[in-house]
Homo-oligomer: A and B are copies of this chain.
Amino acid sequence: MAPPKHVNIAILGTGGVGSHVLSQLSWISTHHPSTHFNLIYLATIDGALYNDNYKPIDIETALNRLQTPGAKRSLLTIQTLATYLANAPYRAILADITSCDTIAQSYPLFLERGISIVTPNKKAFSGSYELWRDIFDAARCGGALIGHESSVGAGMPIISTMRDFGITGDRVMRVEGVVSGALSFLFNEFAPLATSPAVSGSAGGSAGGRWSEIVKKARERGYTQPDPRDDLNGLDVARDVTILARLAGLPIEQGSFPVQSLVPKELEGIGSAEEFLARLPEFDERMDEERERAVNAGRVLRHVGIVDIVNRRAEVGLKWFEPDDPIARLQGRDNVIRFYTKRYGDDPLIISGAGAGGSVTAMGVTGDMLRILHQLG
């Protein structure tokens, strides 16, 4: 029989993803009794549960206990938390399910002390290249591991696939796709395929409605950030592109490659999201023209991220696709990523599906925890 495996877990963040991580860990404890995730620290925004003697917190009741008056203790500082975890009886994994920049910046500090990191947060991996290098160097020195499957495409096997290409010696030539659920929806509505030429004679969908109306609808449904400019500026896609490029071996800096923003220059400085939306119709004609040019070329307009490893460049912006291209044929808010590699040749590996959502994002996180548990345990 394989020996039981133990690892200590610290979780920062108990929101939409964090609560799903807790329930998945609870499921795993019940169904894989030889897998021991000892939850020894659980932090929410204003306090934490933990025991000085490392006695594990009951995962089932943890969220309720956080609500119990007097149960929460003060948050440990980053330094104190690192010491607490480094001194624990088993190896520790820190699950960062916040979007705090300070925590992202401190990953090297945990890693060099042997504490592994799992996170769905893309900040640390898409920040400065120096931080990226520090993170992976610290992990190597500390004998710790890093899991960030959900940093691109949520629970879809994107990062693990990139990793497998790398470690088995395949050469990734090009990675491209739609990694923003918001931009996926906007373009699937604005330039729907049903009106493209190969389908009914008028490519790329002038029948797709007005851009400003679609942006408004997407926001109302909660498909965009509260301020849609945070999606339309392409910076979130640029973060994914940065991560994918680095995984493919390009030491790229964010900001060093072209990112086409869909926020009109004139509306960048405008105060509130409401004001922005009120003035957006003034610019519908520009988007109509973009769509029309693609239509006239028999193509479909999409907003994508591209990593071109062969030519050592990356790009985020509007591109045209053939109507039978899976990128043109996305639906709803789906993401799609296409990997061209030496081994796959002209026939790329394609992964598509939901790239957001609490439970699938959490699945990427707990999957990473299990992988690390097995490697360390």
Binding site for B on A (CB under 8 A): 1-3, 24, 27-28, 31-32, 140-141, 143, 155-157, 160-161, 164-165, 167-170, 193-194, 198-200, 324, 326, 329, 331-332, 334, 343-345, 347-354, 357, 359-360, 363, 366-367, 370, 374-375
Given A1-B140, A324-B329, A348-B353; A157-B164 close (CB under 8 Å): yes
Cβ contact within 8 Å between A170 and B363: yes
* Minimum Cβ distance to chain B for residue A144 (Å): 8
Given A140-B2, A157-B161, A349-B354; A167-B343 close (CB under 8 Å): no
Given A143-B1, A350-B351; A343-B370 close (CB under 8 Å): no
Cα(A374)–Cα(B143), bound, Å: 12
Contact of A143 among B2, B156, B357 (CB under 8 A): B2
* Minimum Cβ distance to chain B for residue A149 (Å): 9
Contact of A350 among B343, B352, B360 (CB under 8 A): B352
Given A343-B359, A351-B350; A24-B168 close (CB under 8 Å): yes
Q: Max chain B CB contacts within 10 Å: which of A143, A343, A374?
A: A343
Given A344-B353, A350-B351; A157-B160 close (CB under 8 Å): yes
Cβ contact within 8 Å between B334 and A347: yes
Cα(A349)–Cα(B170), bound, Å: 24
In the assembled complex, 18 residue pairs joining A and B whose CB atoms fall closer than 8 Å, in A order, are A1-B143, A3-B143, A24-B169, A28-B167, A32-B167, A155-B349, A157-B161, A157-B164, A168-B363, A168-B367, A168-B370, A170-B359, A170-B363, A194-B198, A199-B199, A347-B353, A347-B354, A349-B353
Cβ contact within 8 Å between A343 and B326: no
Q: Closest 7 interchain pairs by CB?
A: A27-B169, A349-B353, A2-B143, A343-B359, A374-B375, A157-B157, A164-B367
Cβ contact within 8 Å between A167 and B347: no
14 extra A-B contacts, CB within 8 A, seeds A27-B168, A28-B167, A170-B359: A24-B168, A31-B169, A155-B343, A164-B367, A168-B367, A168-B370, A326-B329, A326-B352, A343-B359, A343-B360, A343-B363, A344-B354, A349-B351, A351-B351
Cα(A178)–Cα(B301), bound, Å: 29
Instruction: For A350, list chain B residues within 8 Å (CB).
Output: 350-353
* Minimum Cβ distance to chain B for residue A155 (Å): 7
Output the nearest chain B residue to A377 by Cβ-Cβ distance: B375
Instruction: For A334, list chain B residues within 8 Å (CB).
Output: 347
Cα(A2)–Cα(B142), bound, Å: 7
Given A169-B31, A198-B199; A363-B2 close (CB under 8 Å): no
Given A344-B360, A359-B343; A168-B353 close (CB under 8 Å): no
Q: Max chain B CB contacts within 10 Å: which of A143, A165, A168, A357?
A: A168
Output the nearest chain B residue to A359 by Cβ-Cβ distance: B343
* Minimum Cβ distance to chain B for residue A166 (Å): 9
Cα(A359)–Cα(B344), bound, Å: 8
Cα(A45)–Cα(B161), bound, Å: 33
Instruction: For A200, list chain B residues within 8 Å (CB).
Output: 198
Instruction: For A345, list chain B residues within 8 Å (CB).
Output: 354
Cβ contact within 8 Å between A332 and B347: yes
